[in-house]
Chain A
Amino acid sequence: MLYREPLKDTWAEQRLFNNRIVWALTGLVLLTGLLASRLINLQVVEYQRYADLSHGNRIRIQPLAPTRGIIFDRNGVVMAENLPVYQMVLIPEQVSDLDGTLDRLGELKLIDEEQRQRFFQRKRGKRSFDAVPLRYRLNDEELARLSVHRHELPGVDIQAALVRSYPLGSSAVHVLGYVGALSESDLRTVEASRYAATSHIGKIGIEHQYENQLHGEPGNRQLLVNAQGREMDAKGGAREELLRNRKDPVPGSDLVLSLDSRLQAVAETALANRRGTVVVVDVNNGDILAMVSQPGFDPNRFSAGGMSNEEYLALRNDIDKPLFNRALSGTYPPGSIVKPFIALAGLEYRAFTARHSILCEGYYSIPGNEHRYRDWKKEGHGETNLSDAVAESCDVFFYMLAMDLGIDRIHAMLADFGFGETTGLDIPNEKSGLLPSRDWKRGAFSRRSDQIWFPGETVITGIGQGYMLATPLQLAHFTATIATRGKRFRPRLVTALRNPLSGETTEIPPQELAPVELADDRHWDVIHRAMDAAMNTPRGTGWSTSLGAAYKMAGKTGSAQVFSVGQEEEYDEEEIDERLRDHALFVAFAPLENPQIAISVLVENGGSGGRAAGPVVRQILDAWFQGQKR
């Protein structure tokens, strides 16, 4: 073997090799130095920058929603609260077959097609480990069904949440309003950071008006998150630090309303299923004791997120307008309700006195004009003084009185009461109604010939027809002003705010408005007596309403014309389409001697005020005074 090998100079080769090893060692040291300098650069020179980056990487601030304030009535009955409910959620990343899972839920009747579509809408923009709500509220039976089948549905979970609940259902729904899912447009109206964790917001009514107070202040907690934003368990010192930095949310204020939920229920029952309104106000401070607008709806369907689009559209497009709060957004011709106020103007401007009387022949014509303004009583009321005119609701008397006064004086007196302007109730969408005047007419019409105020318009203003409009709330408010002889209070619904943590209550004092001041205070007595006569004498239009009552009430009936009857035609209730019939109106206050409450009732297309609205007034007043006795 040896001879075949070439000659090797072993020592030379060893030297060469050693030399190369020295080179290699040099390279080794250089490269290690390069690494070390890189490490020093990262860990010493730029340490702070990377430390900050690392810290920012791992802490995420999660906002915590505050608990919404509870709404109580004046007696502490809960009208809006937060109930724990069970939601069904789905965590997409834990579901291998999404369509299959949703199909299975459909088979189990836990979701329908629409909820399925909504799920996909909600899922957009969420991360795969975020729980996406499938249903906001499961009933017991559904919860049980889901629990039984949970094992077949990995990734489907049950979560507890708080949902706004209205224990009295549709009662006082127009006052309370409701909360609905926070929308993009809602977010533009509020401070977005306060709503980062909030899912629902007050849409109308008290819930909307007092959103700021009810909502509360959000808190936040810090979470340890991984690169995908998934929450990780924190341990040891990190956990304590996170807990220390937690800021608890501050719950929203509880509200105490002026409403009496019992009276409210009585009023709703009294109206039965008719379209209409009831407003009951405490004359001595403006507290709204009851405010009904019918038909209504169940606000719980909004807050639980369970209302489908179809259901909402059905509600919105319903011919009876259940979403509409007639009591403060509905404007109606006040009709005969305006008569006591016109009478007061007559007394005040000395166009008439309590002792004078006129002869009512069943119609009135402006001197020099053929047109007959008819009385509701074809044969006329005969010899009629002011008290009779109010009690029997004689139209001719007020036609004449209005002509004597003229529109300017009528306007001046009614404006003092607040006709034509909002009462300032503390919920939104209140309408101002309309108090016509020469000025108004000039501004309201574009055609020159329409801008002139005609005497005939003054005539019908005397009986509350024509351009004049008022809301049921205004009518109750004006009646209260008569009851208190001119003292006026701004109507209000919220009487106190309560801090749910400390229990500390902040009362909101009643707000007095500029009173109606008369030249002679005895004029109030005249009007009181006239309204007394309307209720408590057999000839009065409200006689049947007050019959046998344990207290004494004063009031006025009215009917608002929906449909104009021609000059020679008869108005026949039976023959006219139901929706074209007159609206029945009734205002009253009681007790006469020492007024406590005032009330307005409107029954849409109810016909005559005494017949349709009277029993409603009586039931409510009875309930109130019975409650007082107890």
Chain B
Amino acid sequence: MIFIEAEQFRPNRALSFAGRLLRKLCIDGPLLIALLLLAGAGLFVLYSAGGQQADLVLRQLLRVGVALAALLVVAQIPPKYLRMWSPWLYLAGMIMLILVLVTGASGKGAQRWLDLGLFRFQPAEIMKLAVPMMAAWVLHSRRLPPDAKDLLKLLVIILLPTILIATQPDLGTALLICASGILLVLLAGLSGRFILLAGGLAMGALPLLWHFMRDYQKQRVLTFLNPETDPLGSGYHIIQSKIAIGSGGVFGKGWLNGSQAHLEFLPERSTDFIFAVLGEEFGLLGLLSMLVAYLFVVSRGLYIAVHGQDTFCRLLAGSISLTFFVYVFVNAGMVTGLLPVVGIPLPLVSYGGTSMVTLMVGFGMLMSFQSHRKLLPT
């Protein structure tokens, strides 16, 4: 073995008990603390947004617990294995996506769920991780930047699940998965010419995309462009959400005092629009603090990516971190009226289970990359 365990290089560094415990558990302290802070703040806001129902918060707390357990488990898995499993995970995800399309039980007018008897399951969630993992797996053994042949391969790997999920139809998730793949390719060193070419193609594809969008999706885009045209219909979400945030001012109305949220003016306030509740009750200071916490998580992720052991770790860590930021930006952008309403929850804070687990598994991978680093001997 030419690689030596990282710890063995710094055996004498004085570590507190907590530090030793974290190392033993393969946990990255700063990242964990930031995640816990965000999830904890989320529970606070949720208590207010959900109409002060304790059981709602308890259920969310349970989800956080399960997600943290998943994080802990994944963090123990050496990156090598994660890489080896990537194609199989991707394959399984694709099969399930096709199954959903063929037999999937329909929830909320969209076929997203696969009923496995014991529990219902959203295959798109797997793909959120499987797509960047697969892409990283492909690039791991190649020279970077990728050549045209590799790019074509990646294009298929990314677009296939994207299209399948978009037809469910779950445009939000499809876009996020697509973004995670594209971000990974960009990090892999895609040349500027390709970026320009892809940008041009994307612009050209917009009318085509419009043609394939469902009516409600078109409506969302239209009302985004001019919400006041339909203040009681589709524009209602955006207007009420802007009122909630704007009326919060710099310091907010105080916890549990947000009238927009408590008087039910604000729709979906414990899920997609929880950012507006935060803005109403905690004001600009609250929102900026939240954004700083998110930025810290992303930065820490990018730090881990930069220090990644190999191409797979670097690309995957970078993609997971940046996709996380995309989540935050798209949600905040939609709630503040910068972006059209796409059903993307605010990560770690919005009420809801599956995406929380997926996120934490992703962070578990980051921690695995960080804690299983082996250094070349000098």
Q: Bound pair: A and B?
A: yes
A230–B264 Cα distance when bound, in Å, is 10
Closest to A20 in B: B187
Q: Would A54 and B332 be within 8 Å (CB), given that A17-B306, A21-B318 are in contact?
A: no
Closest to B302 in A: A21
Q: Would A57 and B306 be within 8 Å (CB), given that A35-B332, A43-B284 are in contact?
A: no
**Are B246 and A21 touching (Cβ within 8 A)?**
no
B240 in contact (CB, < 8 A): yes
A551 in contact (CB, < 8 A): no
**Are A43 and B306 touching (Cβ within 8 A)?**
no
Q: Would A32 and B291 be within 8 Å (CB), given that A8-B143, A225-B263 are in contact?
A: yes
CB distance from A229 to the nearest CB of B (A): 10
Q: How many residues of A contact B (CB 8 A)?
A: 44
Q: How many residues of B contact A (CB 8 A)?
A: 50
Q: Is the interface of B mostly helix, strand, loop or mixed?
A: helix
**Are B279 and A21 touching (Cβ within 8 A)?**
no
CB distance from B356 to the nearest CB of A (A): 22
**Are A51 and B247 touching (Cβ within 8 A)?**
yes
**Are B246 and A47 touching (Cβ within 8 A)?**
yes
Most buried by B among A16, A24, A225: A24
**Are A43 and B248 touching (Cβ within 8 A)?**
yes
A34–B53 Cα distance when bound, in Å, is 34
Q: Would A53 and B302 be within 8 Å (CB), given that A24-B318, A35-B333, A42-B336 are in contact?
A: no
A226 in contact (CB, < 8 A): yes
Closest to B247 in A: A54
Q: Would A28 and B279 be within 8 Å (CB), given that A18-B306, A44-B250, A49-B246 are in contact?
A: no
A7 in contact (CB, < 8 A): yes
B141 in contact (CB, < 8 A): yes
Query: Binary interface profile of A, 605-622, with partner B (CB < 8 Å = 1, else 0)?
Result: 000000000000000000
**Are B249 and A43 touching (Cβ within 8 A)?**
yes
A46 in contact (CB, < 8 A): yes
Interface residues of A in 319-368 (CB under 8 A from B): none
Chain B residues within 8 Å of A34, by CB: 338
Query: Binary interface profile of A, 227-245, with partner B (CB < 8 Å = 1, else 0)?
Result: 1101010000010000000
A5–B262 Cα distance when bound, in Å, is 60
CB distance from B168 to the nearest CB of A (A): 28
**Are B288 and A36 touching (Cβ within 8 A)?**
yes
Q: Is the interface of A mostly helix, strand, loop or mixed?
A: helix
A100–B327 Cα distance when bound, in Å, is 49
A627 in contact (CB, < 8 A): no
**Are A39 and B287 touching (Cβ within 8 A)?**
yes
A301 in contact (CB, < 8 A): no
**Are A17 and B263 touching (Cβ within 8 A)?**
no
B322 in contact (CB, < 8 A): yes
Most buried by B among A6, A9, A13: A13
Residues of chain A having any CB pair with chain B under 8 Å: 5-9, 13-14, 16-18, 20-21, 24-25, 28, 31-32, 34-36, 38-40, 42-44, 46-47, 49-51, 53-55, 57-58, 224-228, 230, 232, 238
Residues of chain B having any CB pair with chain A under 8 Å: 141-145, 183, 186-189, 240, 242-250, 259-260, 262-265, 279, 283-284, 287-288, 291, 295, 298-299, 302, 305-306, 311, 314-315, 318, 322, 325, 329, 332-333, 336-338
